[in-house]
Amino acid sequence: MNKFLLFIILTLIIGCGQNEPEIQPELITPITVNPLVNFQSFLNELPNEEKKCLISDFTNEEEAKIFVSENSLPNPSIKKCLSSNSNFRIIHGLFINKSIELSSSELQCIKSNSETEKFDYLGKDFAAPMFTYSLGSLFCLNESSRNVYDSSTGDNLFEGIIDNKPLISILPKNIKSLECMSEKTDFQSTKESLTFIYTSGGFFPIQIFSDLSNLVECIEIPEELAALGLNDSSSLCLSNKLENIFSDPLNPSLNDIPKIIIELEGCNIDAIALLRYFEFDVPEPVEKIEEVEIPEEALSDERFTCLSEKLDMNDVMEFLYTRKLTEKALISAEKCGITKEEIESIDLSEILENN
């Protein structure tokens, strides 16, 4: 009888064990592997479903491994397969690679942030500075961790990232100044502006003039700019005047340029010297910029809209300060169906300002 009961008990235990689903332990360890250096090791750090997602467009793992090693990320062929937890583990690993030992409170903050500040690490964000995709994670760092992070970037967060020293001189230099800027303006707009500067390779975002009053509270104004009249009062004046001037904050139109120059002078800032500081090729002015009445039919003429879209900033500056059209401007006008006589009889700055 006892043997019979023992047999039944063993049978039940074995049966329950066979029906129990396989439980995969939660992956919480940091990922420090660079996928371009060792894609196989990177894959092995991921949950099975994310691993399968990443190689689903390939015949097998080996093919995926060859693809990643031969093609620099980001690449549209890599899907958005990573969960917020995996992205959190990657960010944790990035800090470890910078010799930053995160505290439990910092980790919890970053973990919470990764749930809301979505990004695609293997896509367009791969190898980009962290402030372009997880600015909130930087703000989670305590003072000690911030000091280590700032030291790893040199004198400025943008050093070695963009090649525009004048622009670098007025950008936040460390996490503290980044956070200051974010609090003065708006977290998302700060992030978008930093991303624009990085992805454009350091193109000067001229709309930054409208944020000068906030910026000067978070940075040290370079001596060269202070000498041109840029200070707390003039930056506030300029910010107030330019607040609503830009047609698109991240992609200013040439239409904005004439207004900006006029407002710079109106705030007792040397407009020509300031623009030259930021490496705009501005010729010497031959006459003062004045607003000129222009026929309404010309302002609505699609040909002039076409022209305003084809010209670059230097063409406009040339006209504004010499009242002479560059060869490129004349060629562009011809392509838009505007004769040489027509374009020379109309104030180009007014056309750009109203189109």
pLDDT by residue (tens digit) across 139-149?
A: 999 999 999 99
Phi, psi values for residue 56, rounded to 5°: -65, -25
Does residue 110 sit in helix, strand or coil?
A: helix
Residue 348 has pLDDT above 90, yes or no: no
Per residue in 93-124, pLDDT tens?
A: 999 999 999 999 999 999 998 888 888 788 77
Give 238's contacts (C-beta < 8 A, 6+ positions apart): 209, 210, 212, 213, 263, 264, 267, 269
Contact 210, 156 (CB under 8 A): no
How far apart CA 93 and CA 112 sit, in angstroms, is 16
Comparing CA positions, the residue from 278, 282, 269 lying closest to residue 166 is 278
Contact 221, 231 (CB under 8 A): yes
* Confidence (pLDDT) at 153: 84
How far apart CA 134 and CA 162 sit, in angstroms, is 19
How far apart CA 306 and CA 341 sit, in angstroms, is 17
Give the CA-trace dihedral at 137, 139, 145, 151, to 10 degrees.
100
Give DSSP secondary structure letters for 149-214: HHHHTTT-TTTTT---HHHHTTS--SHHHHHHHHHHS-HHHHHHHHHHHHHTTS---GGGGGGHHH
pTM tops 0.75: no
Per residue in 213-245, pLDDT tens?
A: 778 888 888 888 889 888 888 888 877 777 666
How far apart CA 85 and CA 79 sit, in angstroms, is 16
Q: Which helix (H) or strand (E) holds 86?
A: helix 84-97
Residue 228: is it exposed, middle or buried by C-beta count within 10 angstroms (0-12/13-18/19+)?
A: buried
**Region 23-39: what's the mean pLDDT?**
74
Q: How would residue 316 be classed by pLDDT, with cut points 50, 70 and 90?
A: low
Comparing CA positions, the residue from 182, 174, 185 lying closest to residue 220 is 174
Per residue in 245-255, pLDDT tens?
A: 655 555 555 55
